[in-house]
Amino acid sequence: MRGWLRRAFPGCDVDDVVQETYCRIAAIADLERIEDPRRYLFQTARNVVLAELRRARVVRIEAAGSAADMEAALAADELSPDRVVGGRWLLA
């Protein structure tokens, strides 16, 4: 799973994702209902990464500064290679 995470989501903290994934799976009460455990594990890891990416994009209004600063930051937000690869992977 670590290798897949490094390839699919370069730049993410693989150790944190793996730990959070196992914590989420350990919290499941009825593991017998999971039909394909491997697929469930990878889907959970993907969801953890996406949640971290969403969380990282949230900017507190106080930290952002003025509206002009926020507009300039949004205009400068270009697609990085990591975001392009992650987006392509999600569409596949």
Place of tokens 């693989």: 14
Residue 78: the pLDDT is 65
Domain total of the chain: 1
Q: What is the mean pLDDT of each run of 10 residues along the chain (92 residues)?
A: 87 91 91 91 93 79 64 65 72 68
Parent domain of 58: 2-91
Do residues 5 and 45 make contact, with C-beta atoms less than 8 angstroms apart? yes
Residue 60: the pLDDT is 63
Rounded CA gap, 13 and 53, in Å?
A: 11
Residue 75: the pLDDT is 65
